[in-house]
Amino acid sequence: MHTNLHKKDKRVRNNINVITLGCSKNLVDSERLLSQLNGNGIEATHEAEGDSRTVVINTCGFIDKAKEESVNTILDFVHRKGKGEVEKVVVTGCLSQRYKDDLKTEIPEVDAWFGTQDLPDLVDYLGADYKKELVGERLTTTDSHYAYLKIAEGCNRPCSFCAIPLMRGKHNSRSIEMLKDEARFLVSKGVKEIMLIAQDLTYYGLDLYGKRRLDDLLQNLAEVDGLEWIRMHYAYPSGFPVEVLPIIRNNPKVCNYLDMPLQHISSNVLKHMRRGINKERTIDLVKRIRDEVPGIALRTTMLVGHPGETEQDHEELLRFIEDTRFDRLGVFTYSHEENTHAGDKFEDEVSPEDKERRFEEVMEAQMDISFELNREKIGKTYRTIIDKEEDGYFVGRTEYDSPEVDNEVLIKTPELLIPGNFYDIKINDATEYDLMGSPVGA
C-alpha cells in the first residue's frame, strides 16, 4: 500500500507522528519507518499538526546548529508531553546515535532512544512487526512526482571535520537490483524524478562489487520506464568516476546536473581537511567535467573557518568562486566536533566573528554570480517540471534545479498546469534565486 502523506487536520489526535530533521538521507529513513508502520496497518503521519499519541523525532547530529535544533525539538515535545498533548516521545536518528547515553540522563522524559541502524527495533517498539518484504518500499513525503533514492549508507572518507561516519558507520552500497526495484516501485506510485543520494555517491560499488559502479547504476536506472529525470547529489571530488560524464552528456534521463561538495580550494586547507585532493587537481576536475558535459549545472558546498584556514586561504577561496562561477553554491561555518580528527587534533582557532564574516563574503560573491547566470537564461526555453501552485504562480524546476535547494521557475498563466507534468517554459525574467517564465505557445 502506498499513500502520499500530506498534512492531516489537527482535530484528530494523531496516532504516530514522525518528525524529520536534517538531510534527505534522514528523510528516506523516516519514509521507510512510515512504510513499515502502514504495512502493519498502524496509522502514522509525517509532521502533522495537532496532538499525537506518539511522536518519533528523527534527529540530525551533524554540526552545532543542527544539534541545537534537534535538542530544541525534543525539548518542545517533552514540554507538550507534560501538557498532555503527546503521550510518548521517541527519539531516533544521528543525534541519538551519537549522544544516546548522555541524552538519556539529560532528558529522562524521552520514552525511548534508537540509533540510525535500529529500524527493526524501533518498529517493534511502536507495536509493529518489521516486514522484510517492505524493504525498498517507502511512503514518500515529498511531492508525489519526485523522490530521493539513497544508494548507500555510511562513509569511509577521513574528512577531518566530519562526524557523519561516527553516526552512519562505514560505506554500505545497496545492490543495483535492489535500487532498480525501488526506482520501479517509486515510478509505479507516480514518481518521475529521483535524486540519487548517499554520504559519498562516487564511492558506490567499491565495497559491494570491488569497483566503482555508479556508471552501471545510472545506466540501469535509466532503463526504468516512466522515470524521466535522474539527478546526482553528494559526489566526492577525489577519485571522481569520470566514466559517468559521457552518461550525463548522452543519456537524456540523466540530468545535466552534478552536486559535488568541494569544501575549499586552498591546498593548505584541503590538506588540513584530509580531503585527499589539492587545488590543481580540483581545478582540473571541474574543467574536465565542464569540457565533457557542456552546460552542466554544478552545485557545490564550501566550509569556512576550518582550523588552519588563514585570511590568505579565504581570499584564495573567494577568487576561486569568482573565477569558477558555480551555478549553485552553499556554505557552512566550521563546527568543532568532538571525536572528529579536527575536533581532537586542532584548536578551534578561527574566531566566530571571522567565521561569520567569511561565510557572508562567500554568500555575497555567489549571490552576484547566481544573479548573472540567471539573467543569461532570459529568452531561453527550458523543459520544466511543475511542483505546485502557490500564491497565484505555478512553481516548477528545470533539470538544472534540484528540489528544496536550487532555483524555482515561477509561472503566471491562465493555463492549468498539472503538478508532476513537464512543460516548455520560456524565461522572461530572473532574480538571484528564481526564474520567471511562461508556457511556450501560451
**Which residues in this chain contact ligand SF4 in the complex, by CB under 6 A?**
155, 157, 159, 162, 164-165, 199-200, 236
Q: How far is the CB of 222 from ligand SF4 (least distance, A)?
A: 25
Quick one: 164 or 195, whose CB is closer to ligand SF4? 164
CB of 395 to ligand SF4, least distance (A): 30
Grid cell 519507518 — which residue?
A: 33
- Which residue in 387, 260, 272 sits closest to 324, CA to CA? 260
Residue 225, SS3 per DSSP: coil
In angstroms, what is the minimal distance from the CB of 349 to ligand SF4?
Answer: 20
- Residue 130 or 346 with smaller CB distance to ligand SF4: 346
The distance of closest approach from Cβ of residue 158 to ligand SF4 in the complex, given in angstroms and rounded to an integer, is: 7
Smaller CB distance to ligand SF4: residue 200 or 406?
Answer: 200
How far apart, in whole angstroms, are the C-alpha atoms of residue 77 and residue 59?
A: 13
Q: Which is nearer to ligand SF4, 159 or 227 (CB)?
A: 159
Q: Which is nearer to ligand SF4, 7 or 170 (CB)?
A: 170
- Which one, 237 or 437, has the nearer CB to ligand SF4? 237
The C-alpha cell that represents 265 in the structure block: 580550494
Phi, psi (rounded to 5 degrees) for 90? -120, 135
In angstroms, what is the minimal distance from the CB of 351 to ligand SF4? 23
CA distance 100 to 80: 21
In the complex, minimum distance from the CB of residue 271 to ligand SF4, in angstroms, rounded to a whole number: 14
Cβ distance to ligand SF4 smaller for residue 198 or 369: 198
Which residues fall within 8 angstroms of residue 177, CB to CB, at 6 or more apart?
Answer: none
Burial category of 83 from C-beta neighbours within 10 Å (exposed 0-12, middle 13-18, buried 19 and up): exposed
| Residue 22 DSSP one-character state | S
Residue with cell 511556450: 440
Give CA–CA dist 192/179, Å, rounded: 15
Burial class (CB in 10 A: 0-12, 13-18, 19+), 278: middle
> For residues 36 and 263, which CB has a smaller minimum distance to ligand SF4 in the complex?
263
Dist. CA 374–CA 99, nearest whole Å: 43
* Choice between 162 and 329, CB closer to ligand SF4: 162
Contact (Cβ atoms closer than 8 angstroms) between residue 415 and residue 442: yes
CB atoms within 10 A of CB 367: 13
Task: Map residue 25 onto helix, strand or coil.
Answer: helix
User: Least distance (Å) from ligand SF4 to the CB of residue 165?
Assistant: 5
The rounded distance, in Å, linking the Cα atoms of 287 and 324 is 9
Query: What type of residue is 103?
Result: L
How far, CA to CA in Å, does 167 sit from each of 95, 229, 276, 409?
8, 31, 22, 36
Closest separation between CB of residue 160 and ligand SF4, Å?
Answer: 9
**Nearest-approach distance from CB 236 to ligand SF4, in angstroms:** 5
